[in-house]
């Protein structure tokens, strides 16, 4: 895979990260209900981690000679706290699948691969943390 193709894929993942930042922060502000103080803080914490991912990806893009995108996808803001957690689980699942596929494709670029593996580990943690909230 050439650098141009890697940049294109990194920008695709950056769109997901930027969307996750916005979605988590919006959920942080709009969470209501009995468990909302705790969950709302988790949303805030996760939005900050997604921002670190967006930065890491952008830095790799510029190192490869590309331009980081500012595009974001549609943000989903359900009214109920439980539905917020569910849509975030879906975002994390989608990211995990996408990163796994991407990691296979960039095996010949160890720097990009290592970065993606670190981000993947975080996304798996996020899914686990959100999943536990739904068990209670």
Residues that bind Fe ion (CB under 5 A): 17, 50, 53, 123, 126
Given a contact cutoff of 8 angstroms between Cβ atoms, the answer to whether 130 and 88 are in contact is yes
- DSSP letters, 18-42, are HHHHHHHHHHHHH--STTHHHHHHH
- Which string of DSSP letters, residue by residue, matches 91-114? HHHHHHHHHHHHHHHTTT-HHHHH
* Residue 17 vs 69, nearer CB to Fe ion: 17
Smallest gap from Cβ 123 to Fe ion, in A, equals 4
In the complex with Fe ion, the residue whose CB is nearer, 10 or 17, is 17
**Residue 27 C-beta: closest distance to Fe ion, Å:** 13
Q: What six digits make up the tokens of 131?
A: 């999943």
Q: Give whichever of 4 and 121 is closer to Fe ion, judged by the CB atom.
A: 121
CB of residue 59 vs Fe ion: minimum separation in angstroms? 14
């Amino acid at each position: 895979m050439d650098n141009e193709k890697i940049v294109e894929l990194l920008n695709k993942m950056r769109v997901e990260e930027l969307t996750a930042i916005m979605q988590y922060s919006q959920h942080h502000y709009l969470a209501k209900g009995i468990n909302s103080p705790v969950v709302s803080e988790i949303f805030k914490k996760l939005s900050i981690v997604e921002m670190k991912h967006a930065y890491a990806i952008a830095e790799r893009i510029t190192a490869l000679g590309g331009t980081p995108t500012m595009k974001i996808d549609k943000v989903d803001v359900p009214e109920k706290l439980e539905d917020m957690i569910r849509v975030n689980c879906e975002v994390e699942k989608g990211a995990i699948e996408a990163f796994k596929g991407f990691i296979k494709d960039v095996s010949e670029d160890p720097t990009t691969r290592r970065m993606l593996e670190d981000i993947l580990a975080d996304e798996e943690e996020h899914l686990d943390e959100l999943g536990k909230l739904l068990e209670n």
